[in-house]
Amino acid sequence: MNATPANVSDEALLIAFAKGDQRAARHLADRLLPRALGQAARMLSDRDEAEDVAQEAMMRLWRIAPDWRQGEAQVSTWLYRVVANLCIDRLRRRRGRVGLDQVDEPRDETPEVTAQMQSQARLRALSDALAQLPERQAQAVALRHLEGLSNPEIAQIMDISVRSVESLTARGKRALTDLMAGRKAELGYQDE
Amino acid sequence: MSDRNDDRLDDIFAEARAVSPPVSGDLMGRVLADAARMQRSSVWWRINDLLGGWPVLGGLTAVTVAGLWLGIAPPAAFGDLTAAMTGDNLQVSLFADASWLTLEGVVDG
């Protein structure tokens, strides 16, 4: 019942939604909400915050639907931008209070649980390190290395040139490497 | 050493890319409730636009209230004028024993 033909574009669904088609909302949410939630979860490494961001991003989509300008932008590009901006806002608030104190010590010492906790700690450390970067760098690095998007796609999302994307991702990655290297002992890396 | 740090960061990026949380029923419910709310308000605004916006709605409301008021309590001058033009007064009581709440009208005699 919820299946939508693959050839119906996000934009067509959004226009149908704006005209009052209630099923279009369900189809759009089925398609776009998992993507928005995943992007937010990867950037924030916090389930509750990621859900709030995903809900807010979808709310903005519903709100803009009646004014959507056909053919100007892809809905998915627009959504990537909105989620990235909302995550950057959250990361900005996180600055100055970052640390690993949010990550609990494992109660269960089995290797699987310990490995899972360390994985969570690494992902949280990555998110906290993103919070320390200049915002454009953080956004470009996240889109490139967490979402796996190409530089031209990122350029479109951030409304900048491909050359600027290359520069932002290179500088951002270098800064992240330094920030993460300073925490390798906390993250369970044994170094020589 | 720097290469090793780079490799570690790439490993963590790969770990992060694998994160793909399922959408809970609760979240989907909240998102669809937002959509329904926005759709309702959007429909309301479209009707409003069709009618010509707030000034027209305000005017319509004022005219409706004025008409209702004239129907319930017509000024005495209206009663005299219409009686003079068309005929006898007719008193209609809404409640059997509520003599204070009557509607006056005019019928042809």
Q: Which two tokens stand for residue A188?
A: 């369970």
A160 φ/ψ angles, rounded to the nearest 5 degrees: -135, 175
Q: In this structure, which topology does domain A7-104 adopt according to CATH?
A: Rna Polymerase Sigma Factor; Chain: A (1.10.1740)
Number of A to B CB contacts under 8 A, please give it.
100
Who among B6, B19, B35 is closest to A38 (CB)?
Answer: B19
pLDDT of res. B52: 59
Q: Render pLDDT for A153-168 as a digit per residue (tens, 0 to 9).
A: 999 999 999 999 999 9
Nearest chain A residue to B24, by CA: A51
Q: Note whether A55 contacts B31, CB cutoff 8 Å.
A: yes
**Residue that is written with structure tokens 């409730």 in the block:** B33
Q: Which of B12, B15, B44 to mutate to test the interface with A (most CBs of A within 10 A)?
A: B12
> Does B39 contact A62 at a Cβ distance shorter than 8 Å?
yes
Cα gap A96→A132, rounded to integer Å: 9
B25-51 and B54-72 are packed helices; what angle lies between their axes, rounded to 10 degrees?
70
Residues B61-106 have pLDDT tens digits of 666 666 666 666 766 655 555 555 555 555 555 555 554 444 555 4
CATH fold for the domain made of A108-192: Arc Repressor Mutant, subunit A (1.10.10)
Nearest to A36 by CA among A72, A82, A67, A4: A82
Subunit contact A177:B21, Cβ cutoff 8 A: no
Query: Which of A13, A52, A59 best tests the B interface by mutation, with the highest count of B CBs <10 A?
Result: A59
- Predicted confidence (pLDDT) at residue B109 exceeds the cutoff of 50: no
Contacts of A181 in chain B (CB under 8 A): 5, 8
Residue B50 pLDDT more than 60?
yes
- Looking at chain A, which residues constitute the CATH 1.10.1740.10 domain(s)? 7-104
Nearest CA in chain B to A56: B31
The number of angstroms, rounded, from the C-alpha of B107 to the middle of its chain's C-alpha atoms is 38
User: Does A12 have pLDDT greater than 90?
Assistant: yes
Q: Which two tokens stand for residue A109?
A: 């010492």
pLDDT over 90 percentage in chain A: 69
B28 touches A: beta carbon within 8 Å = yes
**For B35, which residue in chain A has the nearest alpha carbon?**
A62
pTM assigned to the model: 0.73
Start-end ranges of CATH 1.10.10.10 in chain A? 108-192
Q: Please tell me the predicted confidence (pLDDT) of residue B4.
A: 78
* Predicted confidence (pLDDT) per residue in A64-120, tens digit: 999 998 888 899 999 999 999 999 999 999 886 655 445 555 566 677 777 778 888
